[in-house]
Amino acid sequence: MAVGELVLPEFNLIKGLRIGTASAGIKKQGRKDLVIFELAEGSTTAGVFTLNAFCAAPVQVAREHLQTTAPRYWVINTGNANAGTGALGLVAAKQTCAAVAELTEVTAQAVLPFSTGVIGEPLPMQRLVEALPQALATLSEAGWADAATGIMTTDTLPKGATASCIINGEKVVLSGVAKGAGMIKPNMATMLGFIATDATIAQPLLKQLLKEATDQSFNRITIDGDTSTNDSCMLVATSQSANISAEDLVAVAAFRDCLVSLMQTLALSIVRDGEGATKFVTIHVEQAASSAEALEAAFTVAHSPLVKTALYASDANWGRILAAVGRARGLENLDVNGVTVYLGDVLLVEQGGRAASYTEVAGAAVMKQEEITLRIQLGRGQIQETVWTCDFSHDYVSINADYRS
């Protein structure tokens, strides 16, 4: 189960967007595994995608289509990633688009495909195509909760967020869903994320805002250090409310803050629901010389199997944290005597060793908590960054050992 409480919100409905969900039986019979988003004509769309060289066929097709026309439909299947499937995978992704296009009377290029699930297996096209009419028949502005469930794989709970802000006296609303629990170290976005706003935003500005928000949310989380072949995060502006222009810096800042908050909520939900997670961990790196070295130090600690297993065991083995910081790339000439480490409010390390005030009792008390904060001060500058992660438990191994069964 997830660390902390994950409850779907009462979603703001986005005028100009409808969502339908169906059961195609792609991996398991009877579960929702096919989702369609219908975007109003005149909407603008931006996306960020995985940088994994073995990116899935739907990622390749979605990127290509996004460059050629304004999308009208997103179609998402779970249970099969359609990745590592070669030329046949590309054919399947394009057939998916063509099938949706035929049913909705748009061009195939106006459809973006997304898949998630097992890598290396052919997409069962007959089952997917046969379920498309069912998904289209359920299109509704109120389809967010079903979509959050319909895009899940090893997630234990659906993930969603909603927000609003005032732009030039007019209310602007946002809603979004995401999925992810394992193979999480995004190199652009989350495993799958779909976000919508009713604002009017030109595509270049929308793309910029999505990239900036992604860097402050999904690109700051990690569960196991693995970047998926299928990572995709989409943002659509349906052009039904306030116009946000690049020249209106106040409006842009207000919308950006709202978008970042929503995307951080989604990103942190993924960490809380990490496969087998029992601890939610915030890693603050402070006093760095640059953002790059702060993030490198934070991610090196977050990815360390020794740190993650100590967290699971509630073992205040602070030497593992020091070892991880010490091997982080880019920290040339690190003065270890200037490094300070806090576990919660407990001072662990100063002057190159254990703090004189530290006691095992105090450290163990913090490690037993479900939510833990590590604060690492490098003593090299004024830059700070934050990364969120979780522990490694026996269940993580079991989930991934049994994933294809």
Does the pLDDT of residue 189 top 70, yes or no? no
Q: Is 47 exposed, middle or buried (0-12, 13-18, 19+ CB in 10 A)?
A: buried
Same domain? For 117 and 251 the reply is yes
Same domain? For 297 and 265 the reply is no
Residues spanned by the domain of 393: 280-401
Q: Sorting pLDDT into bands at 50, 70 and 90, what band is 51?
A: confident
Place of tokens 């805002």: 209
pTM of the entire predicted model: 0.93
Q: State how far the alpha carbon of 251 is from the alpha carbons of 170, 195, 217, 255, 366, in Å.
A: 11, 19, 21, 6, 41
Domain limit, last residue, from 224, 242, 272: 272
Same domain? For 239 and 284 the reply is no
Does the pLDDT of residue 313 top 90, yes or no? yes
Same domain? For 217 and 135 the reply is yes
> 190-206, pLDDT tens digit by residue?
579 999 999 999 999 99
Q: Is residue 381 part of a domain?
A: yes
CATH number assigned to the domain comprising residue 333: 3.10.20.340
In this prediction, residue 405 carries a pLDDT of: 52
Same domain? For 285 and 233 the reply is no
- 235 or 1, greater pLDDT: 235
Q: Sorting pLDDT into bands at 50, 70 and 90, what band is 274?
A: confident
- 189 or 138, greater pLDDT: 138
What average pLDDT does this structure show over 42-46? 98
Same domain? For 72 and 112 the reply is yes
Domain limit, last residue, from 272, 304, 325: 272
CATH number assigned to the domain comprising residue 131: 3.60.70.12
Q: Sorting pLDDT into bands at 50, 70 and 90, what band is 404?
A: low
Place of tokens 């046949």: 88
Poorest-pLDDT segment among 70-79, 177-186, 213-222, 231-240 = 177-186
Q: Is residue 346 part of a domain?
A: yes
Token pair for 294: 């702060």
Q: Which amino acid is at 361?
A: V
Same domain? For 236 and 316 the reply is no
Q: Is residue 361 part of a domain?
A: yes
Instruction: Tell me, yes or no, if 149 is annotated catalytic.
Output: no
Percentage, residues of the chain above pLDDT 90: 81
Same domain? For 109 and 143 the reply is yes
Poorest-pLDDT segment among 129-143, 174-188, 230-244 = 174-188
Please tell me the total count of domains within the chain.
2
Same domain? For 124 and 147 the reply is yes
Choose, from 78, 190, 214, 340, the residue flagged as catalytic.
Answer: 190
In this prediction, residue 36 carries a pLDDT of: 98
> 382-399, pLDDT tens digit by residue?
999 999 999 988 877 776
CA distance 240 to 249: 20
Same domain? For 224 and 313 the reply is no
Domain limit, last residue, from 272, 297, 330: 272
156 contacts: CB under 8 Å, gap ≥ 6: 1, 2, 181, 273
247 contacts: CB under 8 Å, gap ≥ 6: none
Same domain? For 157 and 288 the reply is no
Same domain? For 215 and 330 the reply is no
> 111-146, pLDDT tens digit by residue?
999 999 889 999 999 999 999 999 999 999 999 999
In this prediction, residue 33 carries a pLDDT of: 96
Percentage, residues of the chain above pLDDT 70: 96
Task: Give me the chain's average pLDDT, please.
Answer: 93
Q: Is residue 36 part of a domain?
A: yes
